[in-house]
Structure 1
């Protein structure tokens, strides 16, 4: 299943025209998504994660502009060229989305069962009774207890975790090829987070769907992702399998994200935070956008954007530190520990 590519994003550029000027939200990114896999897109707030996924759903604001040479190839068709009618056939049917806040994603005046049945009625030739029966099965599938008793409940009657399950049921209603999850566990406690993630993996296995999982928390994706794309200031700066990103990270920004994440091996009393703030994308820097926050920055980082350097056939990082002419630097101790773990894994053939 994972040998076939279902989505190819090529040279995506998205700008927003504002009163202050043109915000360069997405600055030439490319990635692909294979059938049956989970691709996690991670990064700080404002890195471009949500704009990327809203672009894939045709949900950007009216002041957004996609560059002419950008391509979003889904099953052989370019999504960037769709009109409103074309998007209505795709959105919620072949590509569905789980939004971040289930309370604002659900209609407070509409019964939850009706909301789950709505995409079924829109995209399938079934009666209302048949749609409600399918909605009931979806409620069972996402782990909603006693669904027959609660199918006529309103959103305010449910907890945050249960509302999130309802939102996932709505997204799965039309059996989409791609499920986009935009930080679906942010407002939930750790126990409910684990349940939601496990349920999403179970549903993925059942429907053979692909998942694009958006988060700012690298810890969340450890057990769900197959591959990871790290975004910063509208660009992908590192791209690899989940093991390569966790145990053999190469970009200093990825080092910073991992160094700020607690693990069972964390020995110091406090976690390290990445200093500074992301750049203003009204005026993006001409060099590496992370240079001013990067303690390992080279002079060239302030002058030229780094290309992608190949680490392995599946692992790439856009950092001048991988250039053969660059000086060798010593990353933080936790990253050295990850590298050692990676070398041990390779030596054992894991």
Structure 2
């Protein structure tokens, strides 16, 4: 992993102005992505994962959404300051995205080949023949048999898993430096999920593409990620290497996520433990830790002030008042990656 980040997000705030007021969807998120690594962003629905991902492509609909403050540095440029025309040059060619549902992302009236070829021709300024050859090569790369014939078919002629492979082929066609995968396996059955994730890992190894994987599935994270960023209530609450997060998680929310995950190494009659309570109201987010109302270890200060960052190791950091020397001692949750 290089010392200089490929992508650097600093103090990112994103809000949506709606009838009921202002939804503060992302509040002060900071992270970096290095070449060739896979960063998993995890958290329950409404934590701000997908909004953060969309902001990296500047795909937040404005209005009602807007980036209120913060920087997204990529290739020496702050993406929040670029014009739509400049962003158009970056989307697809340097930063690409695989969306959750390929059926709504692919145009049902165009053949798969035409959709891939158009992107290649636009971003790489090639002729039709060369673009077609590249499209065939991309379908081969993602494991689609008989690619020449498949180019002439429409999205409805593909299975869900094959459509997702087409989306990955489209995303990788222009050799992007960063690939954002937003819940790429949600609608797929377990066997196809495993194939898609294995494919992404293979492509990451072969092309050195940096991947941001948005997911709520910690099993997927343990299998594929290098680093993990845990989001809750629009904020990052813990980040670290995948081993650090699973074996030495420090934030009570991360403990809750881990305890709600099925384990094969524990007795069959062990019940999964849900996290009680509901996520915070982002119309009027809490002044302190966003998890305080649901946290069994919350102290008065947790409700009043956002905890500062505590550096556990050079790669592991947490935002939690339990790390304060004056905090009561709490039994740490130890997890093993199986």
Deviation per residue, 1:260-298 (Å, 9 max, x gap)? 011222324321111111011001011111111111111
Is the 1:13–1:26 Cα contact (8 Å) retained in structure 2?
yes
- C-alpha distance in structure 2 between counterparts of 1:104 and 1:194, whole Å: 22
Is the 1:3–1:35 Cα contact (8 Å) retained in structure 2?
no
Aligned twin of 1:65:
66
Q: Any residues of structure 2 matched to 1:219-234 within 5 Å, and which?
A: 219-234=219-234
1:248 aligns with 2:248: yes
1:288 aligns with 2:289: yes
Aligned twin of 1:17:
17
Aligned twin of 2:207:
207
Deviation per residue, 1:37-72 (Å, 9 max, x gap)? 11110000000000001100010011222124x111
- C-alpha distance in structure 2 between counterparts of 1:114 and 1:3, whole Å: 39
- C-alpha distance in structure 2 between counterparts of 1:173 and 1:279, whole Å: 40
Deviation per residue, 1:85-112 (Å, 9 max, x gap)? 0111000110000000011111111101
Aligned twin of 1:317:
318
Structure 1 position 217, deviation (Å): 1.0
Where do 5+ consecutive residues of structure 2 fail to align?
none
Aligned twin of 2:191:
191
Q: Any residues of structure 2 matched to 1:1-350 within 5 Å, and which?
A: 1-62=1-62, 63-68=64-69, 70-267=70-267, 268-331=269-332, 335-336=333-334, 338=335
Distance 1:240 1:322, change over 3 A: same
Aligned residues: 335
SS in 1 for 2:197: helix
SS in 1 for 2:10: strand
SS in 2 for 1:67: strand
Is the 1:307–1:318 Cα contact (8 Å) retained in structure 2?
yes
- C-alpha distance in structure 2 between counterparts of 1:138 and 1:51, whole Å: 28
Structure 1 position 14, deviation (Å): 0.8
Structure 1 position 115, deviation (Å): 1.1
Is the 1:256–1:274 Cα contact (8 Å) retained in structure 2?
yes
Where do 5+ consecutive residues of structure 1 fail to align?
343-350
- C-alpha distance in structure 2 between counterparts of 1:129 and 1:238, whole Å: 48
Structure 1 position 166, deviation (Å): 0.2
- C-alpha distance in structure 2 between counterparts of 1:215 and 1:97, whole Å: 14
Is the 1:2–1:37 Cα contact (8 Å) retained in structure 2?
no
- C-alpha distance in structure 1 between counterparts of 2:27 and 2:174, whole Å: 32
SS in 2 for 1:29: strand
- C-alpha distance in structure 1 between counterparts of 2:124 and 2:287, whole Å: 49
Aligned twin of 1:347:
none
Structure 1 position 4, deviation (Å): 3.2
SS in 2 for 1:237: strand
- C-alpha distance in structure 2 between counterparts of 1:104 and 1:309, whole Å: 41
- C-alpha distance in structure 1 between counterparts of 2:273 and 2:169, whole Å: 38
What is the aligned-residue RMSD (CA, Å)?
Answer: 1.2
